[in-house]
Amino acid sequence: MTTATELARAALHRLAALGLPPTPENFQRFYAEAGSGREAVPVPVPVAPPPHTTSASEARELMAAVRRFAEQLAEATGSLALDIDQHNEQLRQSVSSLADAITEPQLGTLLSGVLEITSTMQSTVQASHVELLRTREEIEQLKVELQQSREWMLQDPLTGMQNRRGMDDMLGREVARARRSGAALSVAMLDLDKFKTVNDTYGHHAGDRVLVHMADITRSVLRESDVVVRYGGEEFLLILPDTDINGARFMLDRLQLVVQKTPLIHEGRRIAVAFSAGLAQLRLDDNSASLVIRADRAMLQAKAEGRNRVLVAEN
Catalytic machinery residues: 234
Q: Nearest Cα to 195, choosing from 156, 230, 235, 161?
A: 235
Strands 275-281 and 310-312, sheet pairing? parallel
Largest Cα–Cα separation, the chain: 110
Q: How many Å apart are CA 231 and CA 158, to the nearest integer? A: 13
Return the bridge partners of 276, or none.
Answer: 191
- Give Cα 314 distance to the centre of its chain: 44
Residues recorded for the chain: 315
Long-range contacts of 116-119 (CB under 8 A, 24+ apart): 117/67, 117/70, 118/70, 118/84, 118/88, 118/91, 119/88
With contact defined as beta carbons under 8 Å apart, do 34 and 87 qualify?
A: no
With contact defined as beta carbons under 8 Å apart, do 125 and 84 qualify?
A: yes
Report in angstroms the alpha-carbon separations of 269 from 2, 16, 201, 272. Answer: 103, 84, 11, 10
